[in-house]
């Protein structure tokens, strides 16, 4: 049996406009690295460079690994886990989701589990620990790569599109938004007209991604279920949007529960990134920009 696994799991943009809790895309970067080594126990977990919980039942990566091992009937295994965070926590770039996928996939590699359904389910349990809700729209794209729409975890039903040339600028302002809190401010019910608009826009998102007509995303990424309630948490959101579109972005939206914002671009990524960062700077807010693209899913980098 192998005793060491090293996994790369990418950041993601959940919701991807109108697909609240359903749509997500993987980014080429940033990403987390999770290393897991079987030991005689007790199990331990450490995260760098951000201080995250060191209890294996409170850290999302080890929690997802425990969920996977429990489901596989290997709850007897003990491990030492190290999570190297490339994705800043509370970013809106699927930071917890990347760690959850890293933990679940590392555990699966060591336990000989290859079922997508089991790995995504286990990763979603970690997401549930982090946010109070095991939504799959970060963990599924981090695991599979590309664009993913998830209908249900059990039974696992997900569709996958890989628009290889989709270029994305993601800008993370120096603001913290807790997903748990950003979920708590959402209404329990929404107006029928808003639900209808989101179904229409979601249909156009799928069409744009399947045909490469990315210009359609300009209107299709419009969301009426979560962003209108959440954008107040991201100071400068409207200015960042206007700046991105002025600089030639094809589309603009909020990443997951924020504060990351993202734009779909052609070959003008750096100009759009500068425009968005400039808009946040106008509010006295620093930011980190990633000129990236839709990316591949999680990978086992080493298994020994």
Residues known to be catalytic: 127, 179
14 forms part of the interface with ligand HSE (CB under 6 A): yes
Kindly report the backbone phi and psi dihedral angles of residue 227, in degrees, each rounded to the nearest multiple of 5, phi listed first.
Answer: -65, -40
| Nearest CB to ligand HSE, comparing residues 111 and 255 | 255
Stretch that binds ligand HSE, among 132-140, 169-177, 231-239, 293-301 (CB under 6 A): 132-140
179 forms part of the interface with ligand HSE (CB under 6 A): yes
Q: What is the DSSP letter of 190?
A: -
Calculate the CA 148 to chain-centre distance.
11
Residue among 242, 237, 227, 235 nearest 272 (CA) = 242
138 forms part of the interface with ligand HSE (CB under 6 A): yes
Neighbours of 91 (CB within 10 A): 25
Kindly provide the residue ranges of all beta strands, DSSP E only, lying in the chain, ordered along the sequence: 4-14, 23-39, 44-48, 78-84, 147-152, 157-161, 167-173, 251-254, 261-265, 287-293, 299-303
201 forms part of the interface with ligand HSE (CB under 6 A): no
| Nearest CB to ligand HSE, comparing residues 71 and 231 | 231
Residue among 177, 180, 162 nearest 259 (CA) = 177
Stretch that binds ligand HSE, among 14-22, 54-62, 155-163, 275-283 (CB under 6 A): 14-22
Minimum CB–partner distance for residue 50 and ligand HSE (Å): 17
Calculate the CA 299 to chain-centre distance.
16
Q: What is the rounded CA–CA span in Å between residue 232 and residue 229?
A: 7
Exactly one of 176, 183, 283, 296 binds ligand HSE (CB under 6 A); that residue is 183
176 forms part of the interface with ligand HSE (CB under 6 A): no
15 forms part of the interface with ligand HSE (CB under 6 A): yes
137 forms part of the interface with ligand HSE (CB under 6 A): yes
> What is the token pair recorded at 195?
């639900």
Under rule CB under 6 A, which residues in 215-274 are in contact with ligand HSE? 226, 256-257
Which residue has the CB atom at the shortest distance from ligand HSE? 256
Residues in contact with ligand HSE, counted by CB under 6 A, come to a total of 13
Angle at 144 between CA 248 and CA 95, to 5 degrees: 70
21 forms part of the interface with ligand HSE (CB under 6 A): yes
| Nearest CB to ligand HSE, comparing residues 14 and 45 | 14
Residues that bind ligand HSE (CB under 6 A): 14-15, 20-21, 135, 137-138, 179, 182-183, 226, 256-257
């Amino acid at each position: 049996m192998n005793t060491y696994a090293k996994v790369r799991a990418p950041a993601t943009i959940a919701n991807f406009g109108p697909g609240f809790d359903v749509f997500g895309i993987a980014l080429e970067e940033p990403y987390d690295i999770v290393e897991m080594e079987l030991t005689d126990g007790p199990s331990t977990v450490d995260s760098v460079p951000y201080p995250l919980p060191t209890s294996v039942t409170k850290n999302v990566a080890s929690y997802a690994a425990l969920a996977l091992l429990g489901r596989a009937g290997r709850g007897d295994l003990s491990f030492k886990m190290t999570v190297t965070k490339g994705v800043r926590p509370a970013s809106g770039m699927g930071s917890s989701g990347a760690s959850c996928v890293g933990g679940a996939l590392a555990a699966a590699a060591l336990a000989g589990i290859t079922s997508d359904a089991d790995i995504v389910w286990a990763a979603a349990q970690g997401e549930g620990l982090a946010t109070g809700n095991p939504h799959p729209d970060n963990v599924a794209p981090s695991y599979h790569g590309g664009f993913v729409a998830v209908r249900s975890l059990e039974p696992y039903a997900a569709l996958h599109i890989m628009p290889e040339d989709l270029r994305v600028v993601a800008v993370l302002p120096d603001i913290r938004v807790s997903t748990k809190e950003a979920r708590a401010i959402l209404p329990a019910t929404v107006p029928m007209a808003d639900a209808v608009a989101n179904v229409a826009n979601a249909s156009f998102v799928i069409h744009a991604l399947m045909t490469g007509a990315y210009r359609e995303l300009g209107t299709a990424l419009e969301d009426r279920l979560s962003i209108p309630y959440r954008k107040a948490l991201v100071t400068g959101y409207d200015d960042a949007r206007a700046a991105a579109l002025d600089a030639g972005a094809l589309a603009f939206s909020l990443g997951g529960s924020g504060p990351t914002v993202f734009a779909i671009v052609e070959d003008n990524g750096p100009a759009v990134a500068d425009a968005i960062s400039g808009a946040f700077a106008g509010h006295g807010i620093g930011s980190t920009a990633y000129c990236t693209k839709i990316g591949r899913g999680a990978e086992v980098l080493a298994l020994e």
